[in-house]
Amino acid sequence: MLKHLPTFRFLLALMLFSACLSSAEGMRPVHARRAMVASVHELASQTGADTMRAGGNAVDAAVAAGFALAVVHPAAGNLGGGGFLLLRLANGEVHFLDFREKAPAKASAGMYLDAKGNVIPQASQIGYRAVAVPGSVAGLVEAQRRWGKLALKQVMEPAIRLARDGFALRYTDAHALRDELLAQFAESKRIFQRNGNYYEQGEIFRQPELARTLERIAQDPDDFYHGALARELAAAIQQGGGLISTDDLANYKVVERRAVRGTYRGYQVISAPPPSSGGVALLETLNILEGYDLHALGSRSAKSIHLTVESFRRAFFDRAEFMSDPDFTPVPVAQLIDKQFAARWRESIDPVRATPSDSLKRPKFEALDQLASTRAPMAVREGGNTTHLSVVDPQGNAVAMTTTLNDSFGSRVTVPGLGFLLNDEMDDFTVKPGVANLYGLIQSAANAIAPNKRPLSSMTPAIVLKDERLFLVLGSPGGATIISTVANIIMGVIDFGLDIQQAVNAPRFHQQWVPDELRLEKFGFSPDTLPLLSNGGYELKQTGYWGDAECIAVDPRTGDRLGASDGRNGGRAIGF
């Protein structure tokens, strides 16, 4: 027995070491020398990393991982939704692809109201009429065609294989599939719920119809918008009572837009322009905060939370008034992200007390003053699922991509025979002026439904540069909280000296002007902090947790890629 002691000791040491490793997982960034992918699902991250190992660049990897998410993360990964892709090439060029869904040509402002003008419950959220013209396939294919190095077929092959051969469901995946509303649609119930014989953790989930659809796209990407696939999709939607026609699909266009850019304490911040409110609200928040020494106040201290929340409140106040599809109504982006404007807002912030939202008055600021009086705020709810992935490749190209079906599983409609879920992005429009909704987010009349218009989004894919060099790649789901999540992570790194994983893990808080409450995650705030905030005039609302930040930092000294997946959702950063 004694002679085995050294071996036993060695094994014990090994066990302790691996226990340390697994407890450290999620606590520290994943280090890699050359490339990194962070996403909500290990299989998608692996697909992206493998694509780069096979010679693909960051765009190939993002497209491969994006299609893989459509298979392994049906709640949000998608063919039937839309999104935004922010690309920074290693040579410094920046591109932003808007593949947000569009309202069909037959859509109209009052389409979700009954004869008395009341909102028809769930009409813009569940079922075929909630569906906007999907943009994801067009966006991924266009990104791949313009900047990818590999053939589309090669990039889509892992997703096709995952759909055809199946993959083992994780606990969270299996339980998410039990969504009650999915059962309302026979094809969704059949595919995702095996007609009520629910999938269990560890079971292999195969999606043969989706595999076939992916093969058809890989064979001929145009088919989705102009060919047989488009005809099948439009026919199925119309049969279900939806509005999307073959013309809507044929007319769908990806738009390249100019990313919004600003600075924060000398770092450059690049993010999403309208029709997302994300980049503008992010920069407006950071501009206001730049006037305070947050570092001295400390991360998650009552004082730093107070100043951050007051900045969010003001940025969301402006979001409500001015944001919409810029192809329909001009959005005063330059004024909103002007540092002088932020300085005027800063003067309205009491150093210790909350400003009640209903007392907020925008400071005078030239071009905004005229616009402001003409727009009545309207209410909208924001739904429950979206997904973000970040990629950095060996050359230093970087992609931040956020895609959405809006709610979890979107409209809950799976296209019969085609195997993919359709979005309920119509709900991101303002359905009726002045009606408070589930999430209470307020937006302006400029975001009313109109034919061929894109609904306002909060998605905030972002890239931060330090001394003109790639530093952070980030983004998250979470509806309106996306903006505060991304802002808090940037501040975590820049103001509080956290590493990217610590910044992702840090407890989140959120304020969006209306409702006038301060939302905080339930865990991680000091018990001393909360009474200080209440005494400062805040109505606190603690909830579980939210978001899923999938981020990468590049170590300025070594160039190492540091991946930070969000422990809240069991995602994974994988690099090499």
- Tell me the closest approach of the beta carbon of residue 576 to ligand DON, in angstroms: 30
Single out the residue of 290, 445, 458, 317 nearest to residue 379, CA to CA.
445
77 binds ligand DON per the rule CB under 6 A: no
Q: Least CB distance from residue 180 to ligand DON, whole Å?
A: 18
Tell me how crowded residue 110 is: count the other CB atoms within 10 A of its CB. 12
Which residues, other chains included, contact 52 with Cβ-Cβ below 8 Å and sequence gap of 6+? 35, 37, 58, 60, 61, 391, 393, 394, 576
Contact indicator for 62, 575 with CB cutoff of 8 Å: no
**3-state DSSP assignment of residue 256:** strand
Residue 280 or 482: the one with the smaller Cβ distance to ligand DON is 482
Q: Which range in 261-269, 327-335, 452-460, 483-491 contacts ligand DON by CB under 6 A?
A: 452-460
In the set 308, 329, 355, 386, the catalytic residue is 386
- Please answer whether residues 234 and 246 qualify as being in contact, where contact means their C-beta atoms are separated by less than 8 angstroms: yes
Burial (CB < 10 A; 0-12, 13-18, 19+), residue 213, is buried
Site string for ligand DON, 385-404 (x = CB under 6 A): xx-----------------x
When asked if residue 461 is in the footprint of ligand DON (CB under 6 A), the reply is: no
Q: How many C-beta atoms surround the C-beta of residue 191 within 10 A?
A: 24
101 vs 290 by CB, closer to ligand DON: 101
Residues 59, 218, 459, 483: which binds ligand DON (CB under 6 A)? Answer: 459
As measured in angstroms, the least distance from the Cβ of 39 to ligand DON is 15
Q: What's the CA gap between 226 and 248, in Å, rounded?
A: 10
Please state the closest distance from residue 382 (CB atom) to ligand DON, in A: 5
Cα(519)–Cα(508) distance, integer angstroms: 8
| Minimal distance, residue 99 CB to ligand DON, in Å | 12
Token readout for 402 is: 């956020």
Q: Indicate which single residue of 299, 329, 390, 406 sits in contact with ligand DON (rule: CB under 6 A).
A: 406
Instruction: Write out the H or E segment, with its range, that includes residue 462.
Output: strand 462-466
Rule CB under 6 A: is residue 74 a binding residue for ligand DON?
no
Looking up tokens 């809240």 gives 568
CA angle at 282 for the pair 278 and 285, rounded to the nearest 5°: 140
Question: At closest approach, how far in Å is the CB of 329 from ligand DON?
Answer: 18
**Contact (Cβ atoms closer than 8 angstroms) between residue 383 and residue 339:** no
Gap between the Cα atoms of 40 and 52, Å rounded: 18
Distance CA 414, CA 393 (A): 34
As given in the structure block, the two tokens for residue 115 are 């004869």
Report the 10 Å Cβ neighbour count for 9. Answer: 10
Q: Closest CB to ligand DON among 277 and 501?
A: 277
Binding span for ligand DON by CB under 6 A among 48-56, 208-216, 376-384, 566-574: 376-384
Per DSSP, helices labelled H in 194-270 are: 208-219, 223-226, 228-239, 246-251
Q: Which is nearer to ligand DON, 271 or 397 (CB)?
A: 271
Answer yes or no whether residue 458 interacts with ligand DON by CB under 6 A: yes
Considering only residues 422 to 441 of the shown chain, the ones binding ligand DON according to CB under 6 A are: 428
Give 255's strand partners. 98
* Binder among 50, 101, 382, 550 for ligand DON (CB under 6 A): 382
Q: Which stretch binds ligand DON (CB under 6 A): 58-66, 319-327, 362-370, 457-465?
A: 457-465
* Minimum distance, C-beta of residue 479 to ligand DON, in the bound complex (Å): 4
Instruction: Say whether residue 188 binds ligand DON (CB under 6 A).
Output: no
Span from 52-60, 86-94, 280-288, 379-387 in contact with ligand DON (CB under 6 A): 379-387
Candidate residues 457, 484, 485, 565; the one interacting with ligand DON per rule CB under 6 A:
457
CA 404, CA 80: separation in Å to the nearest integer? 9
Question: For 2, which DSSP code?
Answer: G
Binding-residue pattern over the window 96 to 135 for ligand DON, x denoting contact by CB under 6 A? ----------------------------------------
140 binds ligand DON (CB under 6 A): no
Measure the CA–CA gap between 304 and 274, rounded to whole angstroms. Answer: 29
Task: Quote the least distance from Cβ 410 to ligand DON, whole Å.
Answer: 10
CB 388 within 8 A of CB 461: yes
Cβ contact 150:55 at 8 Å: yes
Write the interaction track for ligand DON spanning residues 463-482; mark x where CB under 6 A is met and - where it is not: --------------xxx--x
The vertex-430 CA angle with 385 and 412, nearest 5°, equals 35
Q: At what angle do helices 208-219 and 58-72 cross, to 10 degrees?
A: 150
**What mask, x for binding ligand DON by CB under 6 A, covers residues 40 to 69?**
------------------------------
81 counts as binding ligand DON under rule CB under 6 A: no
Size of the site for ligand DON (CB under 6 A): 15
The verdict on whether 386 is a catalytic residue reads yes
The residue range among 281-289, 361-369, 429-437, 454-462 that interacts with ligand DON, by the rule CB under 6 A, is 454-462
In whole angstroms, how close is the CB of 211 to ligand DON at the nearest point? 26
- Give the residue numbers annotated as catalytic, written as ranges: 386
Interface residues toward ligand DON, by CB under 6 A: 382-386, 404, 406, 428, 457-459, 477-479, 482
